[in-house]
Structure 1
Amino acid sequence: DGVIEDSIYLNDTVVITEPVEKVGIIIDIGTTTVAMKWLNLKSGMIIESQSFFNPQGKFGSDVIARIDFDNRDNDHKLGELIIKEI
């Protein structure tokens, strides 16, 4: 029926405890910061938001440097860093 009845966790912390019909997540991967928002898709209300430093920063200060790094046989390491953090 599309209703979430269990808790939703983020980094071992409960962020949603009440039943929500449809939940969506927006992820903005910026050069320095990754921002995330969880939305109740029925009401449009923001349920939770969080941001953290982009872990890709240690591999280049700009997007072009990071693409260059990732293209040099690094097995998609930069994408895996983001997925691990999320």
Structure 2
Amino acid sequence: MERSWKWRRAMVFSVAAACIVLLFAALFIGGNDLVTQAIVQGAYLTLVAVVGGYLGIAMWDDRNKGKEILSGISERVGP
């Protein structure tokens, strides 16, 4: 695994942990006011965006690496 992916994974896990802490804090604070609702919506949308972006970029990176490997194989194979 490349070094950059270790840092990306650490950042994703820390953002996910912070969002989960915010969700539990809103749960324990309780109430039905707009501030609690904004905290929950913000944490949830941030969590979805970060995890979705992480998975999307990982898939895109793997697909590009696969294309590079296949192009290298096709260039080496010849008469």
Q: What band does the TM-score fall into relative to the shorter chain?
A: under 0.3
Normalized per residue, the structure richer in strand is: 1
Normalized per residue, the structure richer in helix is: 2
Q: So what's the TM-score if we normalise by structure 1?
A: 0.25
Greater gyration radius: 2
